[in-house]
């Protein structure tokens, strides 16, 4: 099924590509393109990017025209579900990915997945929604919670960090149900679940329907809103063997982030057109893309995100390595630091 999806992606011509490049020019991203021209060409013309269903990864899916500008001719999107993420790197199926930092960190240590963090991607997007019986996060003690359909997935790990932050033991104090998202939403409506931890489009729909109360919105609630949610990473070998390609690809995706941040509605339409999200979710996707503060990648220090989550994960025992060790082993900020200057960023 994954292959089918990937092939479907490849067969599909990226019709909006040119139009988006036009848009990029329109919103004044040309100076970077000019810079790209004097740089040596990428070591490889082929690049394989991960894709899966989260709407927040929109800039990744829409980066194709920018990647072409950077000299990539063979751009492939490979469908990789969360469960197969570490394997995809181990089997060398993908070169670049974006993913929820906590999950990636967990896999890096647990599965020895051969990849490194390269840059921040976006802030927020996850939300913790409680039923009427729950007034605060600490009220969740002994309650039933849906935190994703599988253990140690993104929602579960993020939820663990959030409850551990206020002193609950995510393993002992919470009862989990591991069901599919739609079933979980039904159970929540029926009062069988006390809280939901989810990324868009799920929370937006519930809030719009006035079901439940927002306990934590990681887009705005501190400390979570002060750190990246999803981050970009690359295969260690790819980074090592293709430094120029890595930098160029990163630049293309950063431009794409800026684009989505400025044109969330257009980006949402593209996601629908590519059937990455369902038609029925359109308005929630647009809302989500509008709410996600994509511009923050210019302000937040990605290393501090890793450090922060490493601290939180160590609190819950999900990570053994200490933060600095983890940063030393699993991150490579050389590219983003160079690009930072190009983009005129001084915030970190």
Partner 1 sequence: MKVWLPKLVARAPFTVHTKLIGAFFAIVALLIIFGLVVIQVLSGINRRSEELSQLRRKVGAFRQLQHDTTAQIYGVTSALLSPEERMIESALRQLHEFRYDLERLQFVTRDEVELFGRIKIEHEQLIQMITNVVELTRAQEYKKANDLRLTKIVPLADTLERLTNEMVNRAEADMEAKVDESNRAHMTSRWVVIGFAVGSIGLAILLGYAVSSSLMGPVMLMDERLRQIASGDFSKHVEVPNRDELGTLADNLNRMNNELRDLYQQIEAASRHKSDFLSNMSHELRTPLNAIIGYSEMLTEEAEDRDQKDFIPDLQKIRASGRHLLELINDILDLSKIEAGKVELFPETFDVKLLIEEISGTVQPLIEKNSNILAINCADNLGDMYADITKVRQILFNLLSNACKFTELGTITLDAVRDCSEDAAWLSVSVTDTGIGMTEEQMEKLFQPFSQADIQIARKYGGTGLGLAITRQFCEMMGGDIKVRSEFGRGTAFTMRLPMAAPHPEGDIVSLIASDGSSKSA
Q: How far apart are CA 200 and CA 281, in angstroms?
A: 9
Determine the size of the site formed for partner 1 (CB under 8 A): 16
**Shortest Å distance, C-beta 341 to partner 1:** 16
DSSP alpha helices (H): ranges in 111-201?
A: 154-165, 181-189
Interface of this chain with partner 1, residues 311 to 330, rule: CB under 8 A: 311, 314, 322-325
Helices of type H across the chain: 2-11, 16-26, 30-38, 58-61, 64-69, 85-90, 101-110, 154-165, 181-189, 202-208, 236-241, 243-262, 264-273, 282-291, 302-315, 323-330, 334-342
Angle at 190 between CA 185 and CA 159, to 5 degrees: 45
Cβ 13 to partner 1 shortest distance, Å:
42
Query: Which structure tokens are listed for 252?
Result: 């293309």
Q: Are strands 195-198 and 127-130 parallel, antiparallel or unpaired?
A: antiparallel
Nearest approach in angstroms of CB 123 to partner 1 is 11
| Span interacting with partner 1, options 15-23, 47-55, 176-184, 307-315, rule CB under 8 A | 307-315
* Minimum CB distance to partner 1 smaller for 173 or for 304: 304
Q: What's the CA dihedral at 6, 41, 233, 5 to 10 degrees? A: 0
Residue whose CB is less far from partner 1, 187 or 220: 220
Structure tokens at 5: 């999806």
Closer residue to partner 1, CB minimum distance, 76 or 314: 314
Residue in 90, 143, 189, 307 binding partner 1, rule: CB under 8 A:
307
Site for partner 1 in 275-304 (CB under 8 A): 299-301, 304
DSSP strands (E only) in 106-243: 115-123, 127-130, 144-146, 175-176, 195-198, 213-217, 228-235
- Applying CB under 8 A, does 73 fall inside the site for partner 1? no
How far from 19 is each of 16, 75, 152, 204, 267, CA to CA, in Å? 5, 18, 39, 29, 12
Q: According to CB under 8 A, which residues from 193 to 232 bind partner 1? A: 223, 226
Q: By C-beta, is 222 or 280 nearer to partner 1?
A: 222
DSSP element (H, E) containing 46: strand 46-51
CA gap 158, 101 in Å, rounded: 9
Cβ of residue 336: shortest distance to partner 1, in angstroms? 16
Cβ-based nearer residue to partner 1, 236 or 301: 301
Task: Compare residues 149 and 225 and give the one whose CB is closer to partner 1.
Answer: 225
Q: Closer to partner 1 at the Cβ: 248 or 312?
A: 312
Least Å from the CB of residue 224 to partner 1: 12
Which of 80, 88, 193, 310 is close enough to bind partner 1 by CB under 8 A?
Answer: 310
347 makes contact with partner 1 (CB under 8 A): yes
Site residues, partner 1 (CB under 8 A)? 223, 226, 299-301, 304, 307-308, 310-311, 314, 322-325, 347
């Amino acid at each position: 099924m994954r292959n089918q999806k990937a092939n479907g992606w490849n067969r599909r011509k990226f019709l909006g590509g040119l139009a988006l490049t036009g848009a990029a020019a329109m919103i004044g991203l040309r100076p970077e393109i000019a810079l790209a021209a004097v740089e040596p060409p990428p070591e490889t013309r082929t690049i394989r990017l991960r894709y899966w269903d989260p709407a927040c990864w929109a800039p990744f899916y829409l980066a194709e025209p920018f990647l072409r500008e950077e000299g990539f001719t063979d751009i492939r999107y490979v469908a990789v579900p969360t469960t197969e993420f570490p394997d995809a790197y181990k089997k060398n199926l993908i070169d670049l990915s974006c993913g929820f930092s906590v999950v990636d960190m967990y896999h890096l240590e647990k599965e020895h997945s051969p990849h490194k963090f390269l840059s921040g991607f976006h802030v927020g997007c996850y939300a913790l929604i409680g039923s009427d019986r729950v007034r605060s996060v600490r009220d969740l003690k002994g309650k039933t919670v849906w935190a994703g359909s599988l253990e140690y997935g993104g929602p579960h790990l993020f939820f663990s960090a959030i409850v551990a932050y206020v002193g609950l033991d995510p393993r002992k104090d919470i009862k989990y149900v591991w069901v599919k998202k739609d079933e979980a939403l039904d159970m929540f409506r029926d009062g069988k679940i006390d809280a939901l931890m989810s990324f868009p489009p799920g929370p937006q729909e519930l809030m719009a329907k006035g079901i439940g109360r927002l306990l934590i919105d990681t887009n705005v609630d501190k400390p979570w809103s002060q750190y990246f949610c999803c981050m970009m990473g690359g295969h260690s070998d790819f980074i090592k063997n293709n430094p120029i390609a890595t930098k160029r690809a990163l630049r293309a995706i950063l431009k794409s982030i800026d684009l989505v941040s400025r044109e969330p509605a257009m980006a949402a339409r593209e996601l629908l057109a590519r059937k990455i999200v369902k038609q029925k979710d359109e308005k929630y996707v647009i809302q989500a893309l509008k709410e996600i503060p994509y511009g923050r990648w210019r302000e937040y220090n990605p290393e501090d995100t890793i450090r922060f989550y490493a601290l939180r994960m160590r609190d819950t025992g999900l990570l053994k390595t200490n933060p600095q060790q983890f940063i030393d082993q699993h991150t490579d900020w050389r590219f983003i630091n160079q690009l930072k200057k190009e983009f005129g960023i001084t915030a970190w």
